[in-house]
Structure 1
């Protein structure tokens, strides 16, 4: 579901100390290509943020997507032609949660940040460790929808569920839309939080976007596979989300929108109430959702070689029945209709779904439906000890 060779040279960058949001940021000397960015793509700056993440600022027109064979003649779109419209843009203040923050990098205008990760060297032509095999295990808990849609918006409660360091499993708090032709043939795109130690090298909640190639059954996070075109010079994909929610304590959310541009047919991702445009998946890369989707999911999932047999936590690590402040929640779920308007999902075409109720559960928030969308609790301890 939700899933050439480099020439070694030495580049010396002037090292300076910058200030960014109160965090120490510095330019560093780089002696090897750990980000997977081809050396013919000029690195404008290299920036290190407070958790040790290192980002290379790459010319927006030379990012990995433009190495994709289907995008050789693609003309970059720097902003959507229009945004989904809403009769009311105000969400209820009751039980309001403050936003957690994405990693903000502030690359120079005309460049985008791409994270370096020594734990896994990017390979631009394929997904890393994310081919969905027959033995790949997955469990889900949340809210699913079977109807035509053109996007979705939701507020995702952010926790840091526990995932074993020595596993290749991940735990996600996620929104996803898919275009399904038949069983085993579905394009998909999604966004949200992953805790994925074998990918990021730590147990932190990190913001990711991902594309599912419906023909190859591969899941491509962020800039892997060269499928995602980023336009934001400040949002660091794969960066840490902070602060995160605490069980029976402060709660934090991210506000994410995925939608189809009605003019260009590209699929965009925006963040926050101000609709910060992060980037988009071009229409050319899709097989089954060039025009619309027919499935959506909001909630949590765990995936990996031992995700069912030795399941990690999901959400807060507590069952949905514990509700507000204790169970993870996705709220204000809206879909985008063919008129490019936000709408509440049709209750007749939606349902709660749980694949292993002894490990994870899902439950409607209040009556589940109101004028501000759909709300659902989800999560559980899995088999984590």
Structure 2
């Protein structure tokens, strides 16, 4: 009994330290006139989406990312020098699952879409140490501990319920870290419902990164750093479809990998492994060469998570299985030979949850296409 209690405590502490997009990060927004065109963006075209989102198509060489002091005179890399080797994930989706991607904005070639958020184009990310009294995090999924040069997975896309008036968020996430304690570099991508950032409760595509040396964290284009090259989709974009409990299922292929020549960390998505953009390696002190940790799964974060926790995944416990619980499939890591491989699930991989009363994991498996797991739960939502 004591041994089992010790294991549970270890899992809890590990997941609380993990904190996917950065423990203690606070998202704060200010009002914006949504009709105003910002001159610094050098807008070439404005596109109004059916759902109400507005995108400005700006010159790829004038994007806000290049204002970062470490990117002075940075020459944009429009394509990875090569793609990793590995099994084609196109054939790995069950027949009952459809591919989903962010809404197509389709800005002109040579530009990228920047969303005009309903709240603001400015965000402050405050990190006040390893823990914070007013920011809590719970996580459920799989963790890998060893040297990595990338990771990928197929993520089941749901739209978990998050209180619109709260500053909480719920995400399905792929993340790579390096460093330790407060000084940890993080890069991540996935889908999340984040009302205080987007102004609504739709699930949207996001990326985030943390500079562990200066303890600064950024979401999308909220601060300079991430270089976007995709002209068809934008950060913060809604997903075309979401899975329905007991009904049609949708999933997204997602990968983060290090370019063996430029050393930049790329994000790619979809059947065609579309390059979305990259984090230049010069942004980091610990991730400039390799990662030492990967997380695949779900997390919730915010000031009311402990008292009014939002849903994670489908909002149902992992034991309900396919079509009812959210899943991660074909999770693999990229090795030093630029090849995707399946980790040894018995040695370097942990799976679990930080709070089994709110969120669970189940059916963890390791096979040739990669690792898989079901995760999620209702939180405090009734």
Whether TM exceeds 0.5 here: the answer is yes
Aligned residues: 350
Give how far 1:184 is off: 1.9
Q: Deviations over 1:43-96 (max 9, x none)?
A: 001101111000000100000011111111211100000110015556445465
Q: Secondary structure at the match of 2:209?
A: strand
Distance 1:238 1:171 in 2: 14
- Correspondence 1:349 to 2:348: yes
Q: In 1, distance between residues paired with 2:104 and 2:267?
A: 16
Q: Residue 221 of structure 2 corresponds to which residue in structure 1?
A: 223
Deviation of 1:218 after TM superposition, in Å, equals: 3.5
Cα RMSD for the two superposed structures:
1.8
Stretch deviating more after TM superposition (291-300 or 210-219): 210-219
SS of the aligned residue for 1:98 comes to strand
Q: Is the 8 A contact 2:34 2:118 kept in 1?
A: no
CA contact (8 A) 1:352 1:363 kept: no
Q: In structure 2, what is the Cα distance between the partners aligned to 1:145 and 1:154?
A: 13
Map 1:196-235; keep pairs closer than 5 Å: 196-235=194-233
Structure 2 distance, partners of 1:223, 1:156, is: 23
Quote the offset at 1:114 in angstroms.
0.3
Q: TM-score, normalised by structure 2?
A: 0.88
2:280 is equivalent to residue 276 of structure 1: no
CA change 1:95–1:144 in 2 (3 A) is farther
Find the counterpart in structure 2 of residue 377 from structure 1: 374
Shift of 1:236: 1.5
Q: Distance in 2 between matches of 1:359 and 1:94?
A: 28
Which of the pair is proportionally richer in helix? 2
Provide structure 2 residue ranges, at least 5 long, that are not aligned to the other structure: 1-18, 23-32
Q: Contact 1:270 / 1:278 at 8 angstroms: preserved in 2?
A: yes
Match of 2:119 in 1: 119
CA distance in 1, matches of 2:49, 2:206: 17
TM-score, length basis structure 1: 0.87
Partner of 2:168: 169
SS of residue matched to 1:226: coil
Distance of 1:310 and 1:93 partners within structure 2: 34
Deviations 1:212-243 (A, max 9, x none): 22134343111111111001111111011121
> What's 1:58 paired with?
58
- 1:312/1:216 Cα in 2 relative to 1: closer, same or farther (>3 Å)? farther
The answer to whether the 8 A contact 1:130-1:220 is kept is no
- Cα offsets for 1:268-307 (capped at 9, x unmatched): 0011121111100011111111111010111100001112
> 3-state DSSP class of the match of 2:98?
coil
